[in-house]
């Protein structure tokens, strides 16, 4: 049971490692169960509203929004962009300045011209507020991480590097998942203490530390599992369902207690 004094008003999930596994088939039964809960949240006050915060590009996050029938604004490119599925509108993070865009252009040129040749990794197309690479070879990503970190530290120290087992992303320090959740909190008027977030890698750590209730699926990295309030028994989308239903049970208990 969640030990938390506030009702959870908004539940936010990462995508890779949470709703799905990269380069693997979707758990369609899990998606169907989650979609039913998200739909029910529109009429049941015990079920938190559901949103997404992912490092993935706009198109992928929009597709996930449709798959789960999300009606709340969602965040893509780790908060570099905001998509409102009701208004059908995209907003860009104000921290994306012309200077940052120029620095990201320099990173992209280096990645493509110097870092990627001789590897199976590829440039992560479709992103505006990040420069990134992806590979299904986790050993290759592990080998490339220190190279990218060294290049950024030496040439563009204003930027930051985050990585997952299959990706490396370079972004502005003001455009992170932590900052994105603060943005979401202000715009939706939902205090961070009334938010829950589930994430699985180091790019989620700062965001997990700022919400009222933090979760990691069973497949999360040891670093993340050590940081969160709760690690679920289930992995990937089953972990998201575990966390979401825990929040629902917590809210229902609070509502029933108030009514009695």
Burial class (CB in 10 A: 0-12, 13-18, 19+), 164: buried
Which tokens sit at 161?
Answer: 């590097």
> Between the CA of residue 2 and those of 166, 213, 229, what are the distances in Å?
32, 8, 9
**CATH code for the part of the protein at 98-171:** 3.90.1070
Chain segment 88-103, per-residue pLDDT in tens: 999 999 999 999 999 9
Chain segment 105-164, per-residue pLDDT in tens: 999 999 999 999 999 999 998 899 999 999 999 999 999 999 999 999 999 999 999 998
Please tell me the predicted confidence (pLDDT) of residue 11. 98
Inform me whether the pLDDT recorded for 68 exceeds 80: yes
Which tokens sit at 61?
Answer: 């996050």
Kindly indicate the confidence band of residue 216, based on its pLDDT and cuts at 50, 70 and 90.
very high
Q: Tell me how far apart the alpha carbons of residues 158 and 213 are, in angstroms, rounded to a whole number.
A: 30
> Where do the domains of the chain lie?
10-93+175-259, 98-171
Which tokens sit at 178?
Answer: 């932590």
The mean pLDDT of 232-246, rounded to a whole number, is: 98
Burial class (CB in 10 A: 0-12, 13-18, 19+), 259: exposed
> Between the CA of residue 155 and those of 90, 118, 173, what are the distances in Å?
31, 23, 15
Whole-number percent of the chain with pLDDT over 90: 90
Inform me whether the pLDDT recorded for 260 exceeds 80: no
Inform me whether the pLDDT recorded for 2 exceeds 90: no
Task: Name which residue leads in pLDDT, 6 or 44.
Answer: 44
Q: Which of 46-55, 165-174, 242-251 has the lowest mean pLDDT?
A: 165-174
- Tokens 């979760």 map to which residue? 215
174 close to 213: Cβ distance less than 8 angstroms: no
Tally of CB atoms within 10 A around 19:
24
Please tell me the predicted confidence (pLDDT) of residue 191. 97
Do domains 10-93+175-259 and 98-171 share one topology? The answer is no
Q: Tell me how far apart the alpha carbons of residues 117 and 104 are, in angstroms, rounded to a whole number.
A: 19
* The architecture CATH gives domain 10-93+175-259: 3-Layer(aba) Sandwich (3.40)
Inform me whether the pLDDT recorded for 62 exceeds 90: yes
> Between the CA of residue 110 and those of 6, 68, 116, what are the distances in Å?
47, 37, 9
Kindly indicate the confidence band of residue 258, based on its pLDDT and cuts at 50, 70 and 90.
confident
92 close to 128: Cβ distance less than 8 angstroms: yes
Please tell me the predicted confidence (pLDDT) of residue 69. 97
Please tell me the predicted confidence (pLDDT) of residue 1. 58
Q: Dihedral angle at the C-alpha atoms of 27, 33, 36, 37, nearest 10 degrees?
A: -110
Please tell me the predicted confidence (pLDDT) of residue 22. 86
Strand residues in 25-88 grouped as ranges (E): 49-52, 74-76, 81-84
Chain segment 183-192, per-residue pLDDT in tens: 999 999 999 9
């Amino acid at each position: 049971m969640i030990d938390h004094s506030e009702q959870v008003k908004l539940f936010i999930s990462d995508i890779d490692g949470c709703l799905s596994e990269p380069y693997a088939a979707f758990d369609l039964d899990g998606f169907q169960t989650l979609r039913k809960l998200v739909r029910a949240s529109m009429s049941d006050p015990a079920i938190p509203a559901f949103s997404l915060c992912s490092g993935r590009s706009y198109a992928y996050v929009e597709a996930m929004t449709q798959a789960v029938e999300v009606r709340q604004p969602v965040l893509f490119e780790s908060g570099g962009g905001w998509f409102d599925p009701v208004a059908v509108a995209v907003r860009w993070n104000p921290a994306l300045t012309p200077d940052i865009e120029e620095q990201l252009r320099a990173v992209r040129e280096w990645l493509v011209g110097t870092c990627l040749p001789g590897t199976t990794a590829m440039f992560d197309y479709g992103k505006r507020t990040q420069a990134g690479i992806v590979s299904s070879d986790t050993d290759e990503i592990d080998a490339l991480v220190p190279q990218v970190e060294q290049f950024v530290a030496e040439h563009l120290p204003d930027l930051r590097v985050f990585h997952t087992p299959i990706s490396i992303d370079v972004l502005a320090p003001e455009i992170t998942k932590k900052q994105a959740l603060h943005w979401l909190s202000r715009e939706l008027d939902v205090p961070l203490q009334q938010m829950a977030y589930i994430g699985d890698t180091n790019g989620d750590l700062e965001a997990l530390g700022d919400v009222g209730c933090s979760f990691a699926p069973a497949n999360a990295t040891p670093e993340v599992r050590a940081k969160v309030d709760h690690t679920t028994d289930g992995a990937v989308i089953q972990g998201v369902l575990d966390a979401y239903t825990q929040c629902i049970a917590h809210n229902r208990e609070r509502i029933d207690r108030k009514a009695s």
